[in-house]
């Protein structure tokens, strides 16, 4: 492991200081900042909150849509007593890439806007003194970035982002920045895999450190009582009569790791963990050996003003809404979310399908309907000259996501792509690499999947064979045969599912997307598309179809809440498929869905 992706925590041996707050900020449209010494001092900074997207802070369109280089800067103090330790600055995410300079020297760079990285500054910072950090960020998309897209240049020379995906390209320092002091010898990471045994649970653990001193691991129960311990970097722990982590009933233990030199504690790190197993078996999902039917949403990190910036009140409200409506699962569409989201899911007993930002892998400016998936005619996304570079970035994102998220009991599966073009010859070689990598990296061997775009059918898709369970994004009754034609949509939907039924084998299928854009102020009797009444009818039709196939084992509505997208004729200031508004208030359909989900038992279709 090159660097630790452990969540920053203050412990007996570690110190953390939040660097969140107002930073200096400046656009660098000509890309001259480095040359002109902006790493030492921004020439004309304005104030910008961290964490937040910069876009919706502004009142002018040029700034909101800005595409290119932009800088953040901050003076920060490093305590004198930290000398002789390792000092790092941890960025939980900078979208989409960053170069970090401290006291004028370039320290590190990171590609990818949704995963953490550290800048090690031990020998750079002045102790007991103020220091200066500058971050050169960039938000341009290309066909080798995750997510994918392109930059267009308007006739007046202004650059403009054209995402190949359907969410706004929010940019900035989106998640917390933490100054950390770690002992020189410290824990880099750990893994813990559970097996249920008679009389309790076995935890097979590994601990990675950057030194050679002895490692000790102990498990505490929810009351803080030590119940088992072991020494060594690799070992087994046994928890008698283990309280299992369950849906909406999440018992959490604490794993405590120490590096010791005799009685002296060199480093200590603790985290809350749950004991549970999850597997795919005989067309079912089994949590702790018992069938579980997935109910919930595809979501976005998206809210007024802060865009994709971490906002704890919104996050808490989202969980309250999801509990109220009877959901038990969500997909982190279309990128790994802030670590605080997974922590809350661990605490609340929600199941997460964790998705890497592999979205927009299709030759289309907005990733819907334009692709001729149904024709079988190769579009060749995975045969481009740029494919090796894309694969490299994709593998890096998978590695970072799994390393970051592998110990969360809430994470039950990895979603490795969303709606890629997957009918052409190069698909299989590419898919094999990413699916094999996920399997190799995850000690728990969680099931892997990817979201299959509508019209990518059993006989045309070359990717589905790699999935441990099938995830379909389907819009029968919305993008196809909407409104009065909904009865035809149902017939065609059933035809497609009959086709999958012949070939899916033992794989369960879930719907990772189905939904209808709905204007919360529109009512119409009889219904029309976009009215609240039609959203209910659309959901009823889809649910009736799901209920008639036993191998369908989950339904994740698109989307939990309305969200911002690029402007265009298909979007009325955003995607309106939310069951909640962007302000997290229920549309009529929320009550409809609640009635269904409250009535569905956890082991629905489990017999
Ligand atoms: N799926 C036909 C990806 C999501 C979009 C969703 C939509 C599409 C549908 C593809 O990111 O928001 O169009 O609502």
CA pair distance 497, 237, nearest whole angstrom: 44
Placement of tokens 């369970």 in the chain = 469
The pLDDT score that the predictor gives to residue 325 is 98
pLDDT digits (tens, 9 = 90+) for 114-172: 999 999 999 999 999 999 999 999 999 999 999 999 999 999 999 999 999 999 999 99
Task: Report whether pLDDT(372) > 60.
Answer: no
CA pair distance 239, 227, nearest whole angstrom: 7
The pLDDT score that the predictor gives to residue 3 is 81
pLDDT digits (tens, 9 = 90+) for 37-82: 999 999 999 999 999 999 999 999 999 999 999 999 999 999 999 9
The pLDDT score that the predictor gives to residue 7 is 98
The pLDDT score that the predictor gives to residue 2 is 63
Task: Give yes or no for residue 302 CB within 6 A of ligand 1.
Answer: no
Task: Give yes or no for residue 512 CB within 6 A of ligand 1.
Answer: no
The pLDDT score that the predictor gives to residue 457 is 82
Task: Report whether pLDDT(371) > 70.
Answer: no
Task: Give yes or no for residue 556 CB within 6 A of ligand 1.
Answer: no
The pLDDT score that the predictor gives to residue 366 is 44
Q: What share of the chain is helix, strand, coil (3-state, %, to 5)?
A: 20, 35, 45
Task: Report whether pLDDT(376) > 60.
Answer: no
Mean pLDDT of 557-574: 96
For the CA atoms of 551, 555, 556, 562, what is the dihedral angle to 10 degrees?
140
Mean pLDDT of 532-560: 98
> How much is the mean pLDDT over the chain?
95
**Residue 526, token pair as written in the block:** 């009889």
CA 190 to chain centre: 21
Whose C-alpha lies nearest to ligand 1, atom 13?
Answer: 368
CA pair distance 226, 221, nearest whole angstrom: 7
Report how far ligand 1's centroid is from the alpha carbon of 562 (Å): 12
pLDDT digits (tens, 9 = 90+) for 352-364: 999 999 999 987 5
Active site residues: 419, 513
H-assigned helices in 478-556: 486-503, 532-547
CB contact set of 410 (below 8 Å; sequence gap of 6+): 274, 342, 345, 346, 349, 350, 351, 352
Task: Report whether pLDDT(373) > 60.
Answer: no
CA pair distance 194, 197, nearest whole angstrom: 9
Find out whether the peptide bond into 100 is cis, omega within 30 degrees of 0. Answer: no
The pLDDT score that the predictor gives to residue 379 is 56
pLDDT digits (tens, 9 = 90+) for 77-105: 999 999 999 999 999 999 999 999 999 99
**Residue 169, token pair as written in the block:** 């390209």
The pLDDT score that the predictor gives to residue 194 is 98
In terms of C-beta density within 10 A (0-12 exposed, 13-18 middle, 19 or more buried), how is residue 331 classed?
Answer: buried
Q: What is the set of domains in the chain, with CATH numbers?
A: 15-182 (2.60.120.260), 187-276 (2.60.40.10), 294-599 (3.20.20.80)
Query: Under DSSP, is residue 291 helix (H, G, I), strand (E, B) or coil?
Result: strand
Task: Give yes or no for residue 454 CB within 6 A of ligand 1.
Answer: yes
Cβ(551)–Cβ(283) under 8 Å? yes
Task: Report whether pLDDT(291) > 80.
Answer: yes
CA pair distance 318, 101, nearest whole angstrom: 36
Task: Give yes or no for residue 565 CB within 6 A of ligand 1.
Answer: no
Task: Report whether pLDDT(375) > 60.
Answer: no
**Residue 572, token pair as written in the block:** 């009325």
Whose C-alpha lies nearest to ligand 1, atom 12?
Answer: 166
Lay out the sheet containing 15-18: strands in order across.
15-18, 177-182, 86-91, 117-120
Mean pLDDT of 311-334: 98
The pLDDT score that the predictor gives to residue 410 is 98
Query: Under DSSP, is residue 171 helix (H, G, I), strand (E, B) or coil?
Result: coil
The pLDDT score that the predictor gives to residue 428 is 95
Buried b (16+ CB within 10 A) or exposed e, 120-156: bbbebbebeeebbbbbbbbbbbebbbbbbbbeeeeee
Mean pLDDT of 343-359: 98
State phi, psi for 487 to the nearest 5 degrees.
-70, -35
Task: Give yes or no for residue 473 CB within 6 A of ligand 1.
Answer: yes
The pLDDT score that the predictor gives to residue 364 is 57
Report how far ligand 1's centroid is from the alpha carbon of 572 (Å): 14
The pLDDT score that the predictor gives to residue 378 is 44
From 361, 366, 369, 419, mutation site for ligand 1 pocket: most ligand atoms within 8 A of C-beta: 419
Find out whether the peptide bond into 379 is cis, omega within 30 degrees of 0. Answer: no
Task: Report whether pLDDT(370) > 80.
Answer: no
The pLDDT score that the predictor gives to residue 139 is 98
**Residue 524, token pair as written in the block:** 């119409």
Output the CA–CA distances (angstroms, integers) from residue 490 to 163, 474, 477, 526, in the order listed.
Answer: 32, 11, 7, 19
Cβ(171)–Cβ(137) under 8 Å? yes
How many residues make up the chain in this entry?
607
In terms of C-beta density within 10 A (0-12 exposed, 13-18 middle, 19 or more buried), how is residue 302 classed?
Answer: buried
How are beta strands 411-418 and 448-452 bridged, if at all?
parallel
**Residue 509, token pair as written in the block:** 């299928």
Task: Report whether pLDDT(377) > 80.
Answer: no
Whose C-alpha lies nearest to ligand 1, atom 8?
Answer: 368
- What is the SS3 assignment for 542-573? HHHHHHCCCCEEEEEEECCECECCCCECCECC
CA 529 to chain centre: 31
The pLDDT score that the predictor gives to residue 406 is 98
The pLDDT score that the predictor gives to residue 459 is 83
pLDDT digits (tens, 9 = 90+) for 245-267: 999 999 999 999 999 999 999 99
Task: Report whether pLDDT(369) > 80.
Answer: no
Query: Under DSSP, is residue 218 helix (H, G, I), strand (E, B) or coil?
Result: strand
Query: Under DSSP, is residue 524 helix (H, G, I), strand (E, B) or coil?
Result: coil
pLDDT digits (tens, 9 = 90+) for 171-224: 999 999 999 999 999 999 999 999 999 999 999 999 999 999 999 999 999 999
Whose C-alpha lies nearest to ligand 1, atom 2?
Answer: 368
CA pair distance 271, 87, nearest whole angstrom: 21
């Amino acid at each position: 492991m090159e660097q630790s992706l452990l969540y920053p925590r203050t412990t007996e041996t570690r110190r953390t200081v939040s660097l969140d707050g107002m930073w200096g900020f400046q656009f660098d449209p000509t890309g001259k900042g480095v040359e002109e010494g902006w790493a030492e001092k921004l020439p004309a900074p304005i104030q910008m909150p961290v964490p937040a997207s910069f876009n919706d802070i502004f009142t002018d369109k040029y700034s909101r849509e800005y595409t290119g280089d932009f800088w953040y800067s901050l003076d920060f103090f490093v305590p004198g007593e930290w000398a002789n330790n390792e000092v790092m600055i941890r960025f939980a995410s900078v979208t989409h890439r960053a170069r970090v300079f401290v006291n004028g020297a370039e320290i590190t760079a990171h590609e990818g806007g949704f995963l953490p990285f550290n800048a090690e500054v031990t020998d750079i910072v002045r102790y007991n003194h103020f220091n200066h950090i500058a971050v050169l960020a960039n938000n341009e998309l290309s066909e080798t970035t995750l997510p994918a897209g392109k930059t267009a240049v308007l006739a007046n020379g202004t650059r403009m982002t054209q995402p190949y995906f359907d969410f706004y390209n929010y940019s900035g320092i989106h998640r917390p920045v933490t100054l950390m002091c770690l002992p020189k010898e410290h824990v880099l990471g750990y893994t813990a895999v559970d097996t249920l045994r008679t009389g309790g649970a076995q935890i097979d653990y590994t601990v990675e450190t950057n030194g050679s001193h002895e490692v000790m691991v102990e498990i505490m129960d929810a009351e803080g009582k030590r119940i088992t311990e072991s020494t060594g970097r690799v070992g087994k722990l046994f928890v008698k009569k283990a309280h299992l982590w369950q849906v909406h009933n999440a018992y959490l233990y604490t794993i405590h790791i120490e590096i010791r030199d005799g009685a002296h504690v060199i480093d200590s790190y603790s985290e809350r963990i749950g004991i549970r197993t999850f597997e795919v078996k005989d067309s079912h999902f089994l949590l702790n050996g018992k069938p579980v039917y997935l109910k919930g949403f595809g979501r976005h990190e998206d809210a007024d003003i802060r865009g994709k910036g971490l906002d704890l009140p919104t996050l808490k409200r989202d969980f309250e809404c999801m509990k109220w409506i009877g959901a038990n699962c969500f997909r982190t569409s279309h990128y790994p979310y802030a670590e605080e989201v997974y922590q809350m899911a661990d605490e609340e007993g929600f199941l997460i399908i964790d998705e890497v930002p592999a979205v927009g892998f299709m030759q289309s400016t907005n990733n819907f309907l334009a692709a001729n998936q149904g024709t079988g005619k190769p579009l060749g996304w995975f045969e481009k000259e740029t494919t090796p570079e894309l694969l490299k970035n994709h593998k890096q994102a998978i590695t970072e996501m799994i390393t970051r998220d592998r110990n969360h009991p809430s994470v039950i599966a990895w979603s490795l792509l969303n709606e890629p073009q997957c009918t052409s010859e190069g698909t299989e070689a590419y898919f094999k690499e990413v699916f094999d990598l996920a399997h190799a990296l995850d000690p728990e061997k969680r099931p892997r999947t990817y979201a299959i775009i509508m019209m990518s059918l059993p006989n045309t898709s070359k990717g589905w064979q790699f999935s441990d369970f099938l995830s379909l994004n389907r819009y029968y009754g919305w993008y196809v045969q909407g409104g009065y034609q909904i009865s035809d949509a149902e017939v065609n939907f059933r035809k497609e599912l009959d086709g999958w039924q012949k070939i899916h084998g033992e794989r369960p299928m879930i719907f990772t997307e189905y939904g209808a854009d709905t204007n919360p102020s529109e009512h119409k009797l009889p219904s029309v598309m976009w009215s609240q009444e039609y959203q209910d009818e659309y959901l009823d039709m889809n649910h009736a179809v799901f209920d008639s196939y036993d191998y369908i084992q989950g339904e994740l509505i698109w989307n939990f809440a309305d969200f911002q997208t690029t402007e265009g004729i298909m979007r009325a200031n955003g995607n309106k498929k939310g069951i909640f508004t962007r302000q997290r208030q229920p549309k009529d359909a929320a009550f409809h869905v609640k009635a269904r989900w409250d009535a569905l038992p956890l082991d629905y279709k489990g017999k």
